[in-house]
Amino acid sequence: MALSPAASLRSTWQRTQTFTLSVPVQAALYTGLCSLTVWTLLFSAYPPAHDALHGTRHSTAAVACH
């Protein structure tokens, strides 16, 4: 029995929604967003962000500032 185009589209949408809302995908997206935010703040060359985190950069051994 073949699915109608509307039923097929609905089925595809439900599979996509189930995958997107799964815990592993949410965890990966959250981790990526947090990592991107921290990386942007610590390695920013934008003067206000750089100046605000200058002391933090120098106090960590892992992030070089100059």
pLDDT tens-place string over residues 11-60: 887 888 787 778 888 899 999 999 999 888 878 788 888 888 888 777 77
The pLDDT, as a whole number, for residue 61 is: 73
Domain boundaries, the chain: 28-66
DSSP 4: P
Separation CA 8–CA 42 (nearest Å): 46
Separation CA 45–CA 66 (nearest Å): 11
- Asked if 41 and 55 touch (Cβ cutoff 8 Å), the reply is no
pTM of the predicted protein model: 0.56
Q: How confident is the model at residue 65 (pLDDT cuts 50, 70, 90)?
A: low
Maximum Cα interatomic distance, the chain, rounded to a whole number of Å: 67
pLDDT at residue 1 greater than cutoff 60: no
Which tokens hold the place of 41?
């703040």
The pLDDT, as a whole number, for residue 6 is: 63
